[in-house]
Structure 1
Amino acid sequence: MKFTLLIIDDEKNIREGLAANFELEGYDVKTAATGEEGLALIEKGDIDLVITDLRMPGISGEKVLAKVTAETPGIPVIILTGHGSIDSAVDAMRHGAYDFLTKPLNLDQLTMIVKRALESREMSLQHQQLKKELEDSSALKGMIGKSSPMQKVQAMIRKVADSKASVLITGESGVGKELVANAIHSLSSRRNNSFIKVHCAALSETLLESELFGHEKGAFTGADRLKKGRFELAHGGTIFLDEIGEINQNVQIKILRVLQEHKFERVGGEQTLDVDVRVVAATNRVLEDEVKEGRFREDLYYRLNVIHIHVPPLRERKDDIPLLMSSFLDEFNRENGKNISGVDGRAKAAIFKYNWPGNIRELRNCMESAVVMCSGEEITLEDLPPSVRGSSESDMLSLPLGITLDEAEKLIIKETLAMNSNNKSKTAEVLGIGRKTLHRKLSEWGIDTGEE
């Protein structure tokens, strides 16, 4: 990578001479005649190393060092000093300077110091990038799926995770809305603080208000002590309000106030509490319809719906079924002490044909049941629950609207292959294509192309 150096020195000859030298060495170079100018350039970003004179009018090199080490600690700072300031330069080393050189400068020595510092800087940047990639991978590991719809959801999560904006996650029951909320928190700058989950539909109106905002001692019968609410516990972190469409208007008003003013009072209390919390909400309802019917406040809807992430149902991303099946099979093999190797062709065909109204949750339950019922090396059609098994009786193939021709082709080939018990010759014959064409397409998709 190409690095950018910043040279800060009030002596024009030194400043321009060093700039010319390092430009010849292949670096981008910026210069500043004062500490003030230098700090302004650093604040704009894109500086990889600072060379600064120690003694300058106004903001000194020591102050530049203090600012850099406090606000951008990964940037190495090299101090230039006269013979009479060596003690100060040594002190600067103790306070975070990478190295120092005395004037008159030895350019070869300075060039070597810069090269060594930037090698360290590059390793640090690579480490940070690797750490970020690992964190991203860890945060999204529960979201199994490589289909185009899921790639879009994951890209959206990465894009919005570190903002302060409220997020509304929509989708049918069982699609994994809570996993999306978890990923948003895990990829945000709030990741080291609390992630508080509230399942709004599971609590009555009175209990929900107390659960969210807490209550004072004596606020109602049975309130024998002060209790902090979920918003208070989530201070500095994220609160996830699942099934937000189920809450009543009274609680909606209080949530709206938190979103607008970041303030609330406990039930039965008079003290106003300030809170710093990011709100992520989820619902399987169409909130626009709830607003029209007067059951959900329009102002709260707009406050929650700053960022909207829709999680598609499983029937619209059947490409993900093989990965999900494999993951669930591994999980339930371990849980039940079994070593089932896979799912046979007839069972796969039934699983692909079924529309999964309960989405991933239903598929997970199906695989758990099948593992328990299976007594051989592979899960068969007879091991599947009756509702899924029944789908094999139909020879119809349904394709979700909105997918590309390539995605439709992939689904048709995979389901036809499953219907023919992985017999590639029969599959190619049914589809009216050559065996070589079928093998090539399966190979492109990473599907086993071994001979029958």
Structure 2
Amino acid sequence: MSSSRGKLGGRFGRLLIRSSEPIAVVSRTGRLVAVNPVWEDLTGWPWEIARNLRCRPRFHHDNESLVLLARCLSPPRLNTSQADLAATTRRVRIPDRDGDAHDRLITWVPLRDSAGAWSHWLAILRPVPPLDPSHATAHHDPAEQAVAEAIQQFAAEARARREQRQATRGLVGAGPRFDLLRRRIEVAAACSASVLIVGEPGTGKRLVARTIHELSPAPRNKTPLLPFDATALPTDLMEQSLLGPPPDSPAMPCSPPPIARGATILLIEPAALARDLQARLVNEFARFEAINARFISLTRTDPAQAVAEGRLRDDLLARLSTLVIPLEPLRERLDELPALASALLERANRAPGRCPSGFDTEALTILTSYDWPGNVRELLHVIEAARRSGLGDPISAADLPRSIQGALGAAHPPPQVKPVPLEERLKWVERHWLTQALTLARGNKSKAAAWLGLSRARFLRRLRETGCDPAAGSACLDNHHHADETTSSQSQVSDRKSDESQ
């Protein structure tokens, strides 16, 4: 099981993760050992907080919901020997983080170790089966019916809040910047204004767009998200699909259907649209507003720069950017990388195969030292490769691809060259141009000084200070080249001898 939900590993831990029922593992002393993701969805409490629970009737905590949860998960009292332990079931009301209570049947199954001794309790939460309609009474008290309707409405609101949490669960991150991103997504989902999402490739622009669409109120979230990629579709097909045929053109026999009312249009790279298509989109933008269609646009470039370069009309940008959501690259939020990597690994562990529990310290150091030009997409590929090719648990530095460790560069170290001080290098550059000027002027010092923009007196002074003999011409530069080549040759010979000795 992933380290964020407990320390159970192996096949048993993988079975808990893939179970469709809420499951918790409690030790003999009442300590919560592990939970599965469905348990987190039911209670609303992440493992980082729930791990502090002591499942006993007298558990003290500042949060009343956690106290009630600990009481509900307190194991049954034993009135028999360990050899006669059997599964027991009782009905409980499981409180969640929002203060709602859920009627569940909790089944306690004793777990035994390899020696056959009782070690843990397995708590399985199942829904309470409905009552038999034949036992229901025909008379309904109005007061009881009003209370039942209020409870149903309260449960529906709690279910809507839970669905909203689940819709944003695909977004992974931590810290104030991630909280700001979630608030921007919630604001964009609550209205019908156009949204522009700006970010580098691999930052999750499509995921943010899908989250906004799924969090939108009904019936908008029930309509499909219609993608239009300006970089992939030909201009004619893009115009026919998005705007329909031009007014003066004959109707096509296989023209695409019009945009439905309340649809969400995902426009990818609007700056790649042809200029005449951009102008027509601006003119017909009111038609989309009349059918309550919303635009969510994605771009990897700076839209202001695209307007300055003439690739994007400013009036089209104004209509598409009522709300702007910038996505920072991964290299600018490396403080979130450990939590992001753990969440991506936890999601990858749901697939068949090796399920490492996390990353060791050296592996996390390598991950946080890399600049991630491919952003979150590249991080996901690295985690998948380490999960499939690694052998130990947790993931170590040896499991990570060599491309992010700098190991490929270390395999071919640069030649060892004797360091040259900066002043000496500057003198060499100056000697080069002084000699070049003398060569072009055929030894005429006045013409050489004029060619360099210097007076004759200053030109002669620079010749003396740099050690360049005017009569020798380019000989001073050749002597300096010969000295550098001798130093380099000596260094290569010493390196070759060192390699042979090894």
TM-score, normalisation: structure 1: 0.53
In the alignment, which of 208, 233, 238 is matched to residue 264 of structure 2? 238
Q: List, as ranges, runs of 4+ consecutive aligned residues in structure 1 with deviation greater than 6 Å.
A: 391-394
Give the aligned partner of residue 194 of structure 1.
224
Alignment partner, residue 237 of structure 2: 207
Counterpart AA for 1:390 = G
Q: What is aligned with 2:274?
A: 248
Confirm or deny: 8 A CA contact 1:213 1:228 kept in the other structure.
Answer: no
Give 5+ residue unaligned stretches, structure 2: 1-140, 411-502
Q: Which residue of 2 aligns with 1:386?
A: 402
Paired position in structure 2 for 1:180: 208
Cα deviation, residue 340, structure 1: 2.0
For residue 364 of structure 2, what is the aligned residue in structure 1?
348
Distance 1:160 1:330, change over 3 A: closer
Q: CA deviation at 1:138?
A: 2.2
Cα gap change, 1:314 to 1:372, in 2 (>3 Å): same
Shift in CA distance, 144/392, structure 1 to aligned 2, threshold 3 Å: farther
Deviations 1:62-95 (A, max 9, x none): xxxxxxxxxxxxxxxxxxxxxxxxxxxxxxxxxx
Indicate how the Cα distance of structure 1 residues 234 and 184 shifts in structure 2: closer, same or farther if over 3 A, else same: farther
Question: Structure 1, unaligned stretches of length 5 or more?
Answer: 1-112, 264-273, 395-452
CA contact (8 A) 2:197 2:205 kept: yes
- Paired letter, 1:314: L
Paired residue for 1:337?
Answer: 353
CA distance in structure 1 between the aligned counterparts of 2:307 and 2:336, rounded to whole angstroms: 34
| Residue identity opposite 2:358 in structure 1 | G
Alignment partner of 1:171 is 2:199: yes
Q: CA deviation at 1:236?
A: 2.0
**Alpha-carbon distance between aligned partners in 1 of 2:206 and 2:260, rounded to the nearest angstrom:** 16
Matched position secondary structure for 1:356: coil
Out of 289, 299, 304, the residue aligned to residue 283 of structure 1 is 299
| Residue in structure 2 matched with residue 327 of structure 1 by the alignment | 343
Paired amino acid for 2:269: E
Distance change >3 Å, CA 155–CA 114, structure 1 → 2: farther
Give the distance between the partners of 1:392 and 1:118, measured in 2 at CA.
71
* Partner Cα distance (1:145, 1:178) in 2: 16
Bigger drift between 333-342 and 297-306 goes to: 333-342
Quote how far apart the aligned CAs of 1:201 are: 1.6
Distance 2:407 2:227 in 1: 36
8 Å contact from structure 1 (residues 291, 297) kept in 2: yes
What is the percentage of aligned positions where both structures have the same residue? 32
Which whole-Å CA distance do the structure 1 matches of 2:183 and 2:389 have between them?
Answer: 38
Structure 1 residues 227-277: Cα deviation after superposition (integer angstroms, max 9, x where no partner)? 325xx24432211112223222122123223323338xxxxxxxxxx7431
Shift in Å at residue 115 of structure 1? Answer: 6.1
Secondary structure of the structure 1 residue equivalent to 2:371: coil
Q: Distance in 1 between matches of 2:171 and 2:179?
A: 10
Q: Distance in 2 between matches of 1:336 and 1:120?
A: 44
Aligned to 2:221, what secondary structure does the other structure show?
Answer: coil
Give the equivalent residue in structure 2 for 1:357.
373
Structure 2 residue matching 1:161: 3-state secondary structure: helix
d(CA) in 2 for partners of 1:281, 1:351: 31
Say yes or no: does 1:258 pair with 2:274: no
What is the aligned partner in structure 2 of residue 159 from structure 1?
Answer: 187
Match of residue 330 from structure 2: 314
TM-score in terms of structure 2 length:
0.48
2:235 & 2:354 partners in 1: Cα distance?
Answer: 45
1:140, CA displacement in angstroms? 0.8
Secondary structure of 1:281's match? strand
Structure 1 residue 191, shift from structure 2 partner: 0.7
SS at match of 1:343: coil
Render the CA deviation track for 1:397-423: whole Å, top value 9, x for unaligned.
Answer: xxxxxxxxxxxxxxxxxxxxxxxxxxx
What secondary structure, in the 3-state scheme, does the structure 1 residue paired with 2:325 have? strand
What's the secondary structure of 2:312's corresponding residue? coil
Alpha-carbon separation, structure 2, partners of 1:136 and 1:287 = 31
Residue number in structure 2 paired with 1:146: 174
1:370 and 1:354 map into 2 onto residues whose CA distance is 15
Distance in 1 (CA, whole Å) between partners of 2:407 and 2:188 is 39
**Amino acid paired to 2:272:** E
Offset of 1:117 from its aligned partner?
A: 6.6
> Structure 1 residues 205 and 145, CA, compared in 2 at 3 Å: closer, same or farther?
same
- Asked which structure has the greater CA Rg, the reply is 2
User: What is the alpha-carbon distance in structure 1 between the residues aligned to residue 150 and residue 179 of structure 2?
Assistant: 30
Q: Is the contact between residue 161 and residue 187 of structure 1 (CA under 8 Å) also seen in structure 2?
A: yes
Determine helix, strand or coil for the equivalent of 2:196. Answer: strand
Asked if 1 retains the 8 angstrom alpha-carbon contact of 2:242 and 2:259, the reply is no
**Inter-CA distance 198–151: structure 2 relative to 1 (3 Å threshold):** same
CA contact (8 A) 1:196 1:234 kept: no
Q: In structure 2, what residue type is equivalent to 1:201?
A: T
Q: Distance in 2 between matches of 1:370 and 1:258?
A: 50
In the alignment of these two chains, the number of paired residues is 267
